[in-house]
Amino acid sequence: MHENDLSYRIRGAAFTVHTELGPGLFESVYEVALAHELQKDGLDVKRQLGIPVHYDGLRMDQGYRADLLVVGKVIVEIKSVETLQDVHYKQLLTYIRLADIRLGLLMNFNSVSLKDSITRIVNDL
């Protein structure tokens, strides 16, 4: 399945979660609920997956943890903050580059309208 098709399905599941739960909860709540919705849709989802970082011949097994990895192709970074900061976008771009993933979705569930709070970050897509 192509990353763009996955993105559409992930965003649809996120809208379902946001409509049901609303804004203002902890990120971990949205993470569990979104993973559940995606799994109900038949998608393989890994939560809090440790992604190694390689530097100068050194392998760091827990370089970072991806909130969600969907079908091994899309990293979803979930936030529940007042305002997304530049560092959030840069962080996700670094994550997808290090994992050699082509698409990342940054979602801020602490918003009145989720559609305005989802950003696609691409790595050679």
Cα 29-85-39 angle, rounded to 5 deg:
30
Tokens at 52, concatenated = 């190694």
What average pLDDT score do residues 94-102 get?
91
DSSP state of 80: -
Q: Which residue has the tokens 């696609």?
A: 120
Q: Sheet containing 58-70: which strands, arranged edge to edge?
A: 45-55, 58-70, 74-79, 103-108, 118-122
As a whole-number percent, the residues of the chain with pLDDT over 70 amount to 99
Is the pLDDT score of 124 beyond 80?
A: no
Tokens at 32, concatenated = 């569990």
| d(C-alpha 69, C-alpha 9), whole Å | 14
- Give the confidence band of 125 by pLDDT, cuts at 50, 70, 90: low
The pTM assigned to this predicted structure is: 0.93
CATH class held by domain 3-122: alpha beta
- pLDDT per residue over 51-76, tens digit each? 888 889 998 887 788 999 999 999 99
What average pLDDT score do residues 25-52 get?
95
Report the chain's terminal Cα–Cα distance, integer Å: 14
pLDDT of residue 62: 73
Is the pLDDT score of 32 beyond 80?
A: yes
Bridge partner list, 119: 106
Neighbours of 62 (CB within 10 A): 9
Q: Are 119 and 106 in contact (CB under 8 A)?
A: yes
| d(C-alpha 45, C-alpha 68), whole Å | 7
Q: Which of the two residues, 51 and 44, has the higher pLDDT score?
A: 44
Domain ranges of the chain: 3-122
pLDDT of residue 50: 87
Is the pLDDT score of 92 beyond 90?
A: yes
